[in-house]
Amino acid sequence: MAEVIISVVLVWMGLAGIHVLWIDSARSAAITLGVIGAVFCAANSYKFLINRPGHPISIVGSVIGVVAVIGLLVQVFDWRGFPILGNSKITLVILGLGIITKGVMGRFQGVLKPVAE
């Protein structure tokens, strides 16, 4: 549940314009959340992909991960002309919802059985 708390706090800070350490805008909050999301993904989500690569949860998680990486890159390089993800506030909300969704999906890890060799 740490991913839910961290996502909600960072989205709130970014949208409210609260200044804490290096987070002073929606863009800096989106970049921070994107990096934290990548760490959470590396720590938890790859187990799905290794155990059941064709499972719908793995596919949805991969799509969310690709959108999150694109959103992170758009914000890091400040590509304002990029549709939807060029807006820092929208990207921040999308990243937050994606991390929360992947965290909830990660709770179903015990449901999946590893592929037989």
What number of other Cβ atoms are within 10 A of residue 14's Cβ? 27
Residue 26's domain spans which residues?
2-110
**Could you write out the DSSP letters of every residue in 15-82?**
HHT--BTTB-SHHHHHHHHHHHHHHHIIIIIHHHHHH-TTSHHHHHHHHHHHHHHHHHHHHHTT-TTS
Number of domains in the chain: 1
Closest to 56 (Cα-Cα) out of 67, 48, 44 = 48
Q: Above 60 in pLDDT, residue 9?
A: yes
The string of pLDDT tens digits covering residues 55-109 is 777 788 889 889 999 999 999 898 878 888 888 899 999 999 988 888 887 777 6
Integer Cα distance of 23 and 17 in angstroms: 9
Task: Look at residue 43 and tell me if it is in a domain.
Answer: yes
Q: Above 60 in pLDDT, residue 19?
A: yes
Q: Give the model's pLDDT for residue 45.
A: 64
The string of pLDDT tens digits covering residues 99-116 is 888 888 777 766 666 555
Q: Give the model's pLDDT for residue 103.
A: 81
Q: Above 80 in pLDDT, residue 31?
A: yes
Interacting residues of 17 by C-beta distance below 8 A, sequence separation 6+: 24, 25, 26
Task: Look at residue 115 and tell me if it is in a domain.
Answer: no
The β-bridge partners of 23 are: 20
Q: Give the model's pLDDT for residue 97.
A: 92
